[in-house]
Amino acid sequence: FFIVPKDSTILVSEETIRQAILAASPDISAVPVSRTGLDSLYVNALPRVEAFAWCGGALASSTDSCYEADAEGYVFLPIVRGDASSSPLVPAGTLKIYAPLVDDATTSPIRSTVSDAAIIPDTLRFVRAIQALGANVDSLQLHDDEGDVYLVSGTRVTYIAGHEQAAADLAAPA
**pLDDT single digits (tens) 74-95:** 999 998 866 555 555 777 778 9
* Alpha-carbon span 154 to 156, nearest angstrom: 6
Per-residue pLDDT, 73:
92
Picking from 81, 50, 76, the residue whose alpha carbon sits closest to that of residue 65 is 81
Query: pLDDT-derived band of residue 171, with 50, 70 and 90 as boundaries?
Result: confident
Query: pLDDT-derived band of residue 116, with 50, 70 and 90 as boundaries?
Result: confident
3-state secondary structure the chain: CCCCCCCCCCCCCHHHHHHHHHHHCCCEEECCEEEEECCEEEECCEECCCCEEECCCCCCCCCCCCEEECCCCEEEEECCCCCCCCCCCCCCCCCEEECCECCCCCCCCCCCEECCHHHHHHHHHHHHHHHHCCCCEEEEEEECCEEEEEECCCCEEEEECCCHHHHHHHHCCC
CA–CA distances in Å: residue 69 to residues 90, 100, 116: 12, 13, 14
* Alpha-carbon span 105 to 11, nearest angstrom: 38
Q: How many C-beta atoms surround the C-beta of residue 117 within 10 A?
A: 19
Identify any residues that bridge with 147 across adjacent strands, giving them in sequence order: 142, 159
Greater pLDDT, 101 or 82: 101
The pLDDT of residue 136 is above 80:
yes
Q: How many C-beta atoms surround the C-beta of residue 67 within 10 A?
A: 19
